[in-house]
Chains A and B, each alone.
Chain A
């Protein structure tokens, strides 16, 4: 597979800033580590039936600016340098994560790994804990080297330029909102390098993702409200220029939020903006079809394959290949190549997503969704890009079709229940629609709840456009935070709001 495996946006020289998109170079450190790590695989292979190593060297930057404080860190949640060994023997998998070692002393390191994993087996024997027998992973030969394009790399960034840019934007926000008490920008970028090695595989990839969030808090004597938005992409720090329209938008939002009314709870026609659409995609059939949950019998989706779960207008894709977002990798953390899975096809649930071990247990092919928070953490089945397909309508047509309802905008958070298909979405604001027109009235905050098949079954219109958002992190339960992206078009549906 060549370097053109991925679609990359062509972006010519930016004359104003003087940057050009070029290949983000793969880590020299990891290149230097390849032979010692291959040696470690060989040594451990004498005692185990399967051995793999994931080595990471991801450098980054995080800048926070507000009128009252500034901070710069060369770390963020996705920067890391370390290694994790996965071994297999007697139907059981084990892992050893480490970051302090001597590349010249791999024999000693292998002995240390064996000794500590054996000590754990003693505890398991003492507690009469049996293995969940799993077959051995395949190890077909494959070599891959991918360097994706980016503009400005975090390790080369002009920090002063971005501190000044964010300073200007936050000052503008404060000036535009009469009730503003604080305005801040938090931006981060990571240049990710990962190397996956087995006896037969040598996969190396390098790419950059960046994201920034802007927050404007407004307060009066009775209340505090805020406007919040972000930008992101599989790009370098050049993406931060896209923040420029936000001060005006957030100032208007925060001021309006101070006057927002409380919704009368009930069931309404709704139109979701691409952000809220993405939240529904993520919570409804993102977590719900993570197939490690199928192995544990923790998801209702298992019983609904090839059954209807939404209206004909609902088609949903999932995979790192679906969009050039913050999670557009070439291979996942188990060495499976990136995929593009159609989870729901015109309302019919077709399949889920799986990491390599879950796929092995379910007798299916892995989908490239085995992700770790970082090298220290276990792999779980995780989302990448989760997107609803676009439709045929315009937003104007959709609004005109609503007798009474709300346009929902601004994602706060969400939570799903894969076993019961309940969904909870906290949405920042709802704009009233009456007789096919927006009235200008805003309601906030909004809790949208419901039963997933009812919600997706009620989708009656979808817009032609499609937005993808990749800000923030997604947890599994309340831990294991990874980057994901989601989105889709404006959707018209019916939901319970509170």
Chain B
């Protein structure tokens, strides 16, 4: 209904082109304290975003402005907003680019999504975890969304994608002799993968138990570090994927160049990174990006050398990229050694940070250590406290990737990544 009103008003406006995205979300949510229900919620919403374009100065520039228009907006409100967008777009002078055109593609069968069945699966999964008097589940929140997104533009695109998106946030406790700690996990996925969840939560309970045995992290100086949890995504995204975006390149935040190695003379494994249109049970499995571009599988970085930038149609066109789109799913190829081989020798395997970050502009990494396994002289000691720091421009030269892979929702990456020479600030 609101879409008809918007299209009617656009028809008689001064716009050169337009894009409309209509997203309907039906969501069920459950919030639990221990295993008792704190609250249950339903979301039943529709979000319509309109972006208008105006050709400026004889087609040298393209102006744009956007707004969300509420489904309850009156025709007068729609007219006022579209008129405002037209006026604003005249001041937003960016070099000319084109909106996406309709392409032929293999249509997918509509997905059948049952939020109630997915909800039951999440409850079953959490109930299947083996809790003990020492390690148990403190609280959790379940979110299940059925999302239907329709993308329309003035160039004839009218696509609809429908997909599930779920999340389980869970906090586990571990206690010993009056001392108690908590660990936080946030799992996103398409639907519920019960087996993977039970495995991961069980692993987290084990981490909790080990954290109670920790001694202070020693001052190790520059030391090999093993990343074997989702924290490693900060590196693959912050130092590799984000820097391959057309926006980062065009805006000069990234100095990567096609054909030029990301780091010179690497001694470790080479990174090969693919953009994928689909990953099993990812919460981002759909055929088109939010601007209506077909998402294709493509290699972005091969053996440490940038091969293709990616991004939205504006920045992609500025860089003369063909068949580009926004990237939602990606994978990183495994390396030459197994996970167990990478764990050999002295190293610090950090499985819990307060918050591990890799800055996409500087390449700096940093994070406070909450739980790590210090392997030294054949002994494994759980340690806590202190922090890691360094810069990926240097550290990427000695980075080793396991053959085995592990999936974290929309990312499939080596299950173990070893980086030599990370600065460890201990507290003992």
Residue ranges of A at the interface with B (Cβ–Cβ < 8 Å): 29, 66, 68-75, 79, 81-82, 92-101, 103, 113, 116-117, 119-124, 126-127, 129-132, 159-160, 163, 181-182, 184, 217, 219, 222-226, 265-266, 295-298, 357, 376, 378, 412-417, 419-420, 422-424, 426, 445, 447, 449, 477-479, 496-498
- Are A127 and B124 in contact (CB-based, < 8 A)? yes
- Are B251 and A477 in contact (CB-based, < 8 A)? no
- Are B81 and A127 in contact (CB-based, < 8 A)? no
The answer, yes or no, to whether B166 is at the interface (CB within 8 Å) is: no
What is the CA–CA distance of A200 and B370 in the complex, to the nearest angstrom? 48
Question: Which of A79, A95, A159 contacts B91 (CB under 8 A)?
Answer: A159
Q: Please name all residues of chain A whose beta carbon is closer than 8 Å to the beta carbon of B171 when the two chains form the complex.
A: 296, 298
Report the minimum CB–CB distance from B9 to chain A (whole Å): 15
Closest B-chain residue to A64, C-beta based? B92
Report the minimum CB–CB distance from A312 to chain B (whole Å): 26
Interface centre among B30, B31, B43, B65 (most CB of A within 10 A): B43
- Are A378 and B169 in contact (CB-based, < 8 A)? no
- Are B45 and A82 in contact (CB-based, < 8 A)? yes
Spot the interface stretch: B299-307, B326-334, B359-367, B398-406: B359-367
Question: Which of A99, A266, A298, A416 contacts B46 (CB under 8 A)?
Answer: A99
- Are A163 and B91 in contact (CB-based, < 8 A)? yes
Question: Which of A75, A122, A130, A412 contacts B68 (CB under 8 A)?
Answer: A75
Question: Which of A98, A132, A217 contacts B38 (CB under 8 A)?
Answer: A132
- Are A447 and B42 in contact (CB-based, < 8 A)? no
- Are B70 and A81 in contact (CB-based, < 8 A)? yes
What is the CA–CA distance of A73 and B50 in the complex, to the nearest angstrom? 10
Q: Please name all residues of chain B whose beta carbon is closer than 8 Å to the beta carbon of A423 when the two chains form the complex.
A: 354, 368
What is the CA–CA distance of A219 and B250 in the complex, to the nearest angstrom? 15
- Are B91 and A419 in contact (CB-based, < 8 A)? no
Q: Please name all residues of chain A whose beta carbon is closer than 8 Å to the beta carbon of B253 when the two chains form the complex.
A: 181-182, 217, 224
Spot the interface stretch: B103-111, B178-186, B276-284: B178-186
- Are A96 and B42 in contact (CB-based, < 8 A)? yes
The answer, yes or no, to whether B28 is at the interface (CB within 8 Å) is: yes
What is the CA–CA distance of A99 and B36 in the complex, to the nearest angstrom? 29
Interface size on B, residues (CB 8 A): 81
Q: Please name all residues of chain A whose beta carbon is closer than 8 Å to the beta carbon of B138 when the two chains form the complex.
A: 296-298
Given contacts A182-B253, A447-B425, are A295 and B367 in contact (CB under 8 A)?
no
Given contacts A100-B45, A298-B171, A449-B368, are A417 and B354 in contact (CB under 8 A)?
yes
Q: Please name all residues of chain B whose beta carbon is closer than 8 Å to the beta carbon of A224 when the two chains form the complex.
A: 253, 255, 361-363
Closest B-chain residue to A283, C-beta based? B354
The answer, yes or no, to whether B49 is at the interface (CB within 8 Å) is: yes
What is the CA–CA distance of A423 and B386 in the complex, to the nearest angstrom? 10
Q: Please name all residues of chain B whose beta carbon is closer than 8 Å to the beta carbon of A376 when the two chains form the complex.
A: 43, 45
Within 8 A of A (CB), among B1-47: 28-33, 35-47
Report the minimum CB–CB distance from B131 to chain A (whole Å): 15
Q: Please name all residues of chain A whose beta carbon is closer than 8 Å to the beta carbon of B85 when the two chains form the complex.
A: 74
- Are B46 and A449 in contact (CB-based, < 8 A)? no
What is the CA–CA distance of A497 and B425 in the complex, to the nearest angstrom? 8
Given contacts A97-B42, A298-B182, A479-B169, are A73 and B93 in contact (CB under 8 A)?
no
The answer, yes or no, to whether B113 is at the interface (CB within 8 Å) is: no
Report the minimum CB–CB distance from A115 to chain B (whole Å): 10
What is the CA–CA distance of A423 and B370 in the complex, to the nearest angstrom? 10
The answer, yes or no, to whether B160 is at the interface (CB within 8 Å) is: no
- Are A129 and B364 in contact (CB-based, < 8 A)? no
- Are B116 and A74 in contact (CB-based, < 8 A)? no
What is the CA–CA distance of A497 and B389 in the complex, to the nearest angstrom? 11
The answer, yes or no, to whether B380 is at the interface (CB within 8 Å) is: no
What is the CA–CA distance of A120 and B94 in the complex, to the nearest angstrom? 49
Render B97-127 as a binary contact track against A, CB cut-off 8 A, 1 for contact.
0000000000000000000100110011001
11 further contact pairs, Cβ within 8 A, besides A70-B93, A129-B30: A66-B251, A94-B42, A96-B44, A120-B28, A120-B116, A129-B36, A224-B253, A224-B362, A378-B41, A412-B359, A479-B169
- Are A124 and B40 in contact (CB-based, < 8 A)? yes
What is the CA–CA distance of A100 and B3 in the complex, to the nearest angstrom? 13
- Are A73 and B65 in contact (CB-based, < 8 A)? yes
Q: Please name all residues of chain B whose beta carbon is closer than 8 Å to the beta carbon of A219 when the two chains form the complex.
A: 252, 255
- Are A422 and B49 in contact (CB-based, < 8 A)? no
- Are A182 and B252 in contact (CB-based, < 8 A)? yes
- Are B389 and A498 in contact (CB-based, < 8 A)? yes
Render B163-179 as a binary contact track against A, CB cut-off 8 A, 1 for contact.
00000010101000000
- Are B72 and A99 in contact (CB-based, < 8 A)? yes
The answer, yes or no, to whether B323 is at the interface (CB within 8 Å) is: no
- Are A97 and B44 in contact (CB-based, < 8 A)? yes
What is the CA–CA distance of A424 and B384 in the complex, to the nearest angstrom? 13
- Are A445 and B362 in contact (CB-based, < 8 A)? yes
Question: Which of B72, B124, B368 contacts A100 (CB under 8 A)?
Answer: B72
- Are A127 and B127 in contact (CB-based, < 8 A)? yes
- Are A226 and B361 in contact (CB-based, < 8 A)? yes
Q: Please name all residues of chain A whose beta carbon is closer than 8 Å to the beta carbon of B255 when the two chains form the complex.
A: 219, 224
Q: Please name all residues of chain B whose beta carbon is closer than 8 Å to the beta carbon of A447 when the two chains form the complex.
A: 366-368, 387, 389, 425
Question: Which of A99, A357, A422 contacts B354 (CB under 8 A)?
Answer: A422
What is the CA–CA distance of A390 and B119 in the complex, to the nearest angstrom? 50
What is the CA–CA distance of A255 and B367 in the complex, to the nearest angstrom? 25
- Are A415 and B355 in contact (CB-based, < 8 A)? yes
A-B contact pairs, 27 of them (CB 8 A): A70-B93, A72-B89, A74-B68, A74-B84, A75-B68, A92-B39, A95-B40, A96-B44, A99-B46, A117-B40, A123-B123, A130-B36, A131-B37, A159-B87, A163-B92, A181-B253, A182-B251, A217-B253, A224-B361, A295-B33, A415-B368, A416-B354, A417-B182, A419-B181, A424-B367, A477-B186, A498-B386
